């Protein structure tokens, strides 16, 4: 999905990446908190400060390959009013927050181009990267592979035996995922293309509504 970037682009991506990760993880924590679980708040995860959210290897993978992860927000599903649905909603919050952020950046890019608001090339690249990284982070996390959000979003609809299966084989999913990221990212690109097509077209539709 993304070629290995130039050194300049990689450097410009770092603050953008920190923002996207912070939005994603704090959204998880906030939705968990709203459902009665104060553990993320007590652990300082409902914040846009990137430091509590960074996973070093996940950040490097995202910068280089367009696929990556942050430090997971730990929640206590027993505190949810409906634990199975609550886990799904908490998982969904991260990708949704990134998509909403991407929409904002896409609208900004539209007006920058329309009215020539910014002439600084590097600032334009940062905004473009902010748009793309938020989209890619959302898309990647929608994969139904443990421990990604997509696998937990299925909790909302799946029977209880799926939840048991998930926790039994979560480690296997992690191994497969890491192997794909570092050794066969083209496989992830192929699988994610339909999701990417839908989300990019959805964002384009929203942006078109703005004059």
Residues with active-site annotation: 25
Residue pair 70/125 in contact (Cβ under 8 Å)? The answer is no
Q: Which of 64, 62, 75 is nearest to 34 (CA)?
A: 75
How crowded is residue 205: how many other Cβ atoms within 10 Å of its Cβ? 9
Whole-angstrom Cα distance, residue 110 to residue 116? 10
CB within 8 A of 150, min separation 6: which ones? 91, 141, 142, 143, 144
- Beta strand extents in the chain (DSSP E only): none
Whole-angstrom Cα distance, residue 32 to residue 60? 27
Cis peptide before 147 (omega within 30 of 0): yes
């Amino acid at each position: 999905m993304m070629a290995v970037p130039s050194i300049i682009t990689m450097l410009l991506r770092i603050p953008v990446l920190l923002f996207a990760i912070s939005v994603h993880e704090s959204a998880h924590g906030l939705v968990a908190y709203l459902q009665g679980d104060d553990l993320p708040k007590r652990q300082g995860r409902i914040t846009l400060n990137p430091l509590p959210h960074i996973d070093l290897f996940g950040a490097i993978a995202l910068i280089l390959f367009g696929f990556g992860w942050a430090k997971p927000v730990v929640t206590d599903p027993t505190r949810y009013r409906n634990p199975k649905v609550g886990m799904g909603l908490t998982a969904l919050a991260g990708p949704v927050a990134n998509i909403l952020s991407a929409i904002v950046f896409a609208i900004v890019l539209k007006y920058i181009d329309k009215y020539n608001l910014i002439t600084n090339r590097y600032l334009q690249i940062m905004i473009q990267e902010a748009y793309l990284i938020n989209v890619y982070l959302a898309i990647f996390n929608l994969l139904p592979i443990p421990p990604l959000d997509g696998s937990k979003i299925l909790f909302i609809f799946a029977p209880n035996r799926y939840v048991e299966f998930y926790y039994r084989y979560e480690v296997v999913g992690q191994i497969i995922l890491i192997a794909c990221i570092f050794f066969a990212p083209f496989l992830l690109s192929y699988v994610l293309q339909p999701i990417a097509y839908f989300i990019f077209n959805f964002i384009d539709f929203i942006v078109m509504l703005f004059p």
